[in-house]
Amino acid sequence: MKRIAILSTLAFCLLSLSLDAQVPPEFTDLYAELEGYLTNFDATLDTNWNGTLSDCLMAATLMPATSAGRDWSSAGDASTDTNFLNDMVVPYLDALQALGIKSIKFAIQFPILYQPFYAATNGENYPAGYTNTFNFYSNLVVLLRQRGIKIIIPTESIIAGNGADTTTYERSLTFPQFVAGRSALIQTIARYLKPDYLILQSEPETEAANLPANLGNQITNAAADMLMISNFLTDLQTAGLRSSNTIIGAGCGTAQSDFTNFLAGFTTLPGLDLLDIHVYQINHFPITGVDELQRIIQMADAAHVTNAIHPNGMRVGIGEYWLYKQANMEYGSTNLGANTFRGRNVYSCFSPLDREMQLCMVKVAHYEQFDFIDPYWTEYFFSYLDYTQMQTYVQSLINSNLSSDAIGLMLQNTNQSLVFPALLAGQQTATAQGYAEYIEPGPPLLRITNNGAGSVSLGWSPVAIKFLPQQNPNSLGANWTTIPVPPRAAGSDFSVTLTTTNNQEFFRLHQP
């Protein structure tokens, strides 16, 4: 089927998206390495994907709502602040919707919506906190439904609230008590919040590592973890909470240890509807053969296989992704932790790579026909820090003998403090504008800029890989001719600049 995109004349002009391209020497090698991984994966997708858009839900993480605000900001949380929904969550939601986002994900980590945690003296010790948190999520779901937004809720136990009270409480639990508590929270979500997607686990390795050893050690191997997930599924069924309106999923990240056994476990688990994939590391290790980006396709293909357990195959979603800014040579370092690499997220010099990551995830979602994808660190849709401007501050932290991880955490907190002023002012970063462009439905828009002196620049979405730019000089009997397109830089759109010969020249994007 042939499709013609927007036909435009020279009079039409759109403001181009600005990108921060200056990479500081500190990150030159890292930038080039990550750019290479993304460019190669993009080329793989362009070779195999026919360009057809799927019905994938292009979601985004509602950061302030994650674990009722405890996981993201120091500006309070819903257990104590009854105005948290209107003051913190709604403005963030409005800003995401302004980007065209119609599906929202927020995590409810154990024990944030588990009543015994709020009653326990070694927990929150604040019974009203459960009521406030429950009401917060109930009201949030009502609001999202009123706006016609699809809802994705994952739940496990990963740094639930970054607070000592959650850690102290979990240390008091036996493993059977922990599993029972996780199951009770899952049932609460299914019974009262009724999300479109309920994800029982997404990062087994991270969950195990963040739990007290007496709990985490119980789920470090695939068989034990699958048994826990199977028990959750059975409990949902027994409670009468399995419904065609809520798709149940679970899965792991592309960097999961014992990857083969965990993938096999999830894709052969009876009663599980969807394989959830998390993508942060994108590195390729030639010696071991591990390619984190290619694992996305490997996992999706494994889930799509039809068998006696899943006669129609499994659904697949990417429940979280963001570009993890770690070089191959930094793997295994004892001096650099997660906050060092997350701290690099704040710098605007990485925006082109963040955009390219969005593009690759949108393309692979269409190619593999995912149910949803979800960019996690959506705060960078609204605010980045300038590397050069931050160096005086960073040097002062170094002089104070702070570790690389501590500095990375402080950089993240600094950027977080700027997010709400930015989104309230309507500010969108180039990364946000890129995602908004990539998820647009229908034929792509052709942007035309008249540069003067007979020069014209054309630009269009890099999702439109099967569309060809064409021109017609508007002279008698003239045909449309295809315009050669130069290679596209990472993080940029398709673009071409050419000289015109006619004041009434026409341009179009054409899909043969």
What is the distance between the terminal CA atoms of the chain, rounded to a whole angstrom? 8
What does the pLDDT average to over 106-113?
A: 94
**pLDDT tens digits along 240-280:** 999 999 999 999 999 999 999 999 999 999 999 999 999 99
Q: Which of 482, 470, 498 lies closest to 5, judged by CA?
A: 470
**pLDDT tens digits along 167-186:** 889 999 999 999 999 999 99
Q: Which percentage of the chain shows pLDDT scores above 90?
A: 83
Output the DSSP codes for 61-80. Answer: E-GGGGGGGTTT-SS--TTT
Q: Which of 359, 257, 253 lies closest to 298, judged by CA?
A: 253
What does the pLDDT average to over 463-483?
A: 89
Q: What are phi and psi of 376, to 5 degrees?
A: -85, -55
Q: What is the pLDDT of residue 163?
A: 59
pLDDT at 6 over 90: no
Q: What are phi and psi of 291, to 5 degrees?
A: -130, 105
What does the pLDDT average to over 155-171?
A: 76
Residue 15: band (very low, low, confident or very high) from pLDDT cuts 50, 70, 90: very low
Output the DSSP codes for 478-501. Answer: PPPEEPP-PPPPTT--EEEEEE-S
- Omega of the bond prior to 375 within 30 degrees of 0, cis? no
pLDDT at 101 over 70: yes
How many other C-beta atoms lie within 10 A of the C-beta of residue 46?
14
Q: What is the pLDDT of residue 330?
A: 93
Q: What is the pLDDT of residue 204?
A: 96
Pairing mode of beta strands 447-452, 455-460: antiparallel
pLDDT at 62 over 90: yes
pLDDT at 475 over 80: no
- Domains of the chain listed by start with CATH number: 53-438 (3.20.20.80)
Between CA 216 and CA 205 the distance in angstroms is: 9
Q: What is the pLDDT of residue 21?
A: 53
Between CA 71 and CA 160 the distance in angstroms is: 7
Residue 502: band (very low, low, confident or very high) from pLDDT cuts 50, 70, 90: low
Q: What is the pLDDT of residue 325?
A: 98
pLDDT at 418 over 50: yes
Is the pLDDT higher at 160 or at 269? Answer: 269
How many other C-beta atoms lie within 10 A of the C-beta of residue 284?
18
What does the pLDDT average to over 462-473?
A: 94
Contact 87, 81 (CB under 8 A): yes
Q: What is the pLDDT of residue 11?
A: 29
What does the pLDDT average to over 25-48?
A: 97
**pLDDT tens digits along 315-353:** 999 999 999 999 999 988 888 999 999 999 999 999 999
User: Residue 306 burial (CB < 10 Å; 0-12/13-18/19+)?
Assistant: exposed
pLDDT at 17 over 60: no
Q: Which of 233, 236, 341 lies closest to 281, judged by CA?
A: 341
pLDDT at 10 over 60: no
Q: What is the pLDDT of residue 365?
A: 99
Query: Long-range pairs for 244-247 at CB < 8 Å and ≥24 separation?
Result: 245/194, 245/196, 246/190, 246/194, 246/195, 246/196, 246/197, 246/198, 247/196, 247/197, 247/198, 247/273, 247/274, 247/315, 247/371
pLDDT at 213 over 80: yes
Mean pLDDT lowest for which of 221-230, 268-277, 323-332, 476-485? 476-485
